[in-house]
Amino acid sequence: MPDVEDSSSSPLVDPSQRCCNAWTRILLHVVMVTTLFSVIMFAYIYLCVVRHYAVASLVIQLIAYPALGCLYIYNSSSRQDKFLSAGYLVLVMSVFLISSFGLKSNGNTYRIEFVSLANMVAISSYCVWKCSFILHYYRLKKLVRTILHGAVVATLLVVIISAYGLYRRQLYGGFLFFSSVKESLLIQLVAYNAVAILYIGNSSGPKEKVISAGLLVLVLFVFLFCSFLANTYRTDLIFGANIVAISSHCAWKLYPQIRPWLDALDAHTEPSQPARQQEAVLRLQQTPFCIKDLPKEFSSDEIQSITQDFGKRIGHGASAQVFHGSLDDGTAIAVKRIHMHSGHTEAGEEEFRREVSIIANVHHRSLVRLLGYCLQQHGGGGLYLVYPFFENASLDRWIFSRSDEQRRLLAWPKRFCIAVDVARALAYLHKDCHRRILHLDVKPGNILLDGDLRGHVSDFGISLSITRDLTSVINTRGRGTFGYMAPEMLVNAVSDRSDVFSYGMTLLELIGGRRNFDPSSSATLDPNLAQNLREKMAQDKHMELVDIAMADVDEEAVKTVVKVALLCIQHERDMRPSMQNVVDMLEGRVAVNLPPEARRPSSSSAVNLSEPHSVSEHAIIDMQVA
């Protein structure tokens, strides 16, 4: 992702250690939930029912509820989730307390039961909320999800109707006691909460969740406040609210399945032939048609849904933020959000469209594939790109880690494999694409690692797509990253050999596990870097260039890679090899020799990165390939 830094400063760890940490968090989570559950049950059963310490029981219940609220809010992934959690908890307690007013009884201890049950409902809802992620993780098939959905709806209907039927039977039998009224009312309230979870859990986006919650709250409070006119009918009215809510849910979910049958019935009216033809054309136009492996266009609501309202940020930069998300089938993704400013992108819509068009037309195993995009600038939408999620982040987090153990995990065979992966990807961009592509910002931060630590080139936000035989006039100001930029980029003259220079600088950092240029300590790039490396090679001290954290390094392979890097970082761009030649040299098909000794740059030609450069507005791209 362009100019995106990982928002987590913690070093990467071994996957097995990450797994242990995850299980530790889950275990602590379960312990906290179990402890709260035990306290709530103890306060109600022992203190209230057995010992009749009503006040003590009520105090403990009221303390346990805020503790449960802290559990909700702390484990909410975004600010919006935190507000929703707090609102839900306030709503649950309010409904149970309001429902207890006006009931005829010999004492007020029954109110403790309502508070206790509010606690039980809240903690049960929390468990359902967290367990739903497990079901999502296992990627259940649509048929299985449909069966589970139907089973839950049927179970809720059976519980609601059975409880109400028993209540009416006792009422007509003349042996209805306060305990029966209370129990039936509590069952109906718990069932209503379950229906609410069913609504929210099956809403596909934030708008649907808000509409569902608003409908449920409106229905419940209308029936609840109507019951204050006659307290004896409170159970009946809550039962009615349940029936209305669950019937609306069934109608909502079954309508898409019933609609084809309704359309078939309408077809019996025998419309005229032109009308039938027009209807068929409209249906064909409205039918979604998806070609596999092509980027999908997402709506802004879908982007919000798959990122859970942008709850988990995994990277950020000057022009974009990256969020973790997952598709309906469980595929992990990374969503890049382009920064907005007064309804327009800071980088410009043209830059966004260029990135989409470039990435959509490249297909190589070592290039990051574009899964989808969103271009909605109106109605609160934004500009988004959807990529696969790479669990091992970018290369710079591995080779520049302060931990020797961390860098040791990326052994020499893996590093050499990454070097070849990146070289092949760049060779494909330069040679095999229909329109040649210059990346212009090759660096470790733009190389992502998959689960097998294979390299994938990312960030086409500043790339140039150019026809093969065209000489173009373009502006390269602001492109690239100091420390990796070819010298000619400072005067707006770029070609495919500019990427070769950046690749050579990245190759040296991959070998050594340290930066060639550190902006925090020096503002000047060493102009004698290539000459110093040549001297190391001449003195047979090439192993001094290798990261000390690595073990079992192949010396001959190191010699080859260093020679390739020296060829790539030559000051004169015409002296640099093409990326296809680099691939051939790394894979042993072409002999690798040290480049001819070039004239050492004078001190006046050193690039001072702390000072702004005055460059021409435009320059010619040399399209001739050596």
At 238 the pLDDT is 85
Give the per-residue pLDDT at 11.
Answer: 45
> Do residue 397 and residue 378 come from a single domain?
no
Query: Distances from the Cα of 409 to the Cαs of 12, 392, 396, in angstroms?
Result: 10, 12, 13
Q: Are 400 and 373 in a shared domain?
A: no
Kindly state whether residue 212 falls inside one of the protein's structural domains: yes
Structure tokens at 316: 């950020």
Residue 595 lies in a domain: no
Same domain, 349 and 463: no
Q: pLDDT digit string (tens) for 64-122?
A: 888 888 888 877 766 777 787 888 888 888 888 888 776 665 555 667 778 888 888 88
Q: What is the DSSP string of 449-494?
A: E-TT--EEE---TT-EEE-TT---EE--TT-S-TTT--GGGGGT--
Q: Is residue 404 part of a domain?
A: yes
pLDDT in tens, 231-285: 667 888 888 888 888 888 888 777 777 777 766 666 555 555 555 555 555 554 5
Centre a 10 Å sphere on the Cβ of residue 318 and count the other Cβ atoms it contains.
Answer: 11
* Pairing outcome for strands 320-326 and 436-438: unpaired
Q: 427 and 380 in one domain?
A: no
**pLDDT, tens digit, for every residue of 401-443?**
877 777 888 889 999 999 999 999 999 988 887 778 888 889 9
Output b/e per residue, 246-263; b: 16+ Cβ within 10 A: bebbeeeeeeeeeeeeee
CB 425 within 8 A of CB 370: no
pLDDT in tens, 8-21: 444 444 544 545 55
Q: Is residue 229 a part of any domain in this protein?
A: yes
Q: Which of 388, 415, 440 is the last residue of a domain?
A: 388
Report how many domains make up the chain.
Answer: 3
Of 361, 388, 415, the residue that ends a domain is 388
Whether 370 and 417 map to the same domain: the answer is: no
Residues labelled catalytic: 441
Under 8 Å between Cβ of 161 and 148: no
Binding-site entries: 336
pLDDT at 382: 63
Name residue, tokens 């409902």.
Answer: 121
Return the higher-pLDDT residue of 363 and 294: 363
Nearest to 149 by CA among 197, 191, 198, 194: 198
Percent of the chain with pLDDT over 90: 11
Burial class (CB in 10 A: 0-12, 13-18, 19+), 162: exposed
539-560 pLDDT, tens digit per residue, is 777 788 888 888 888 888 998 9
pLDDT confidence of residue 472: 39
Q: Which domain holds residue 363?
A: 297-388
Residues 23 and 137 in one domain: yes
Asked whether residue 609 is domain-assigned, the answer is: no
Within 10 angstroms of residue 34's Cβ, the number of other Cβ atoms is 11
Q: What region, left, alpha or beta, does residue 308 occupy, with left being phi > 0 and alpha being psi -120 to 50 degrees?
A: left
The reply to whether the predicted model has a pTM over 0.95 is: no
Residue 307: give its domain's CATH number: 3.30.200.20
Q: What secondary structure does DSSP assign to 533-595, as a single string? A: HHHHHHTT-GGGGS-TT--S--HHHHHHHHHHHHHHT-SSGGGSPPHHHHHHHHTTSS---PP
Do both 211 and 330 map to the same domain? no
Residue spans of alpha helices (H) in 46-177: 54-74, 79-100, 110-137, 142-173
Residue 625 lies in a domain: no
In terms of domains, do 442 and 556 share one? yes
pLDDT top residue among 81 and 297: 297
Give the other-Cβ count within 10 Å of 169's Cβ: 11
Instruction: Please tell me whether residues 583 and 485 are part of one structural domain.
Output: yes
Binding site per annotation, positions for ATP = 336
The two beta strands, 332-338 and 383-388, are antiparallel
Q: Are 424 and 454 part of one and the same domain?
A: yes
Considering the domain architecture, whether residues 368 and 238 belong to the same structural domain is answered as: no
pLDDT at 422: 95
Confidence of residue 349 (pLDDT cuts 50, 70, 90): low
Measured N-to-C along each axis, helices 234-267 and 178-201 cross at an angle, to the nearest 10 degrees, of 40
Is there a domain that residue 581 lies in?
yes
Q: Are 379 and 420 found together in one domain?
A: no
Lowest mean pLDDT among 108-112, 155-159, 369-373, 398-402: 108-112
Residue 595 · residue 623 · CB < 8 Å: no
CB 398 within 8 A of CB 407: yes
**CATH number assigned to the domain comprising residue 533:** 1.10.510.10
Q: Is the Cβ–Cβ distance between 383 and 338 less than 8 Å?
A: yes
Could you tell me if residue 275 is inside a domain?
A: no
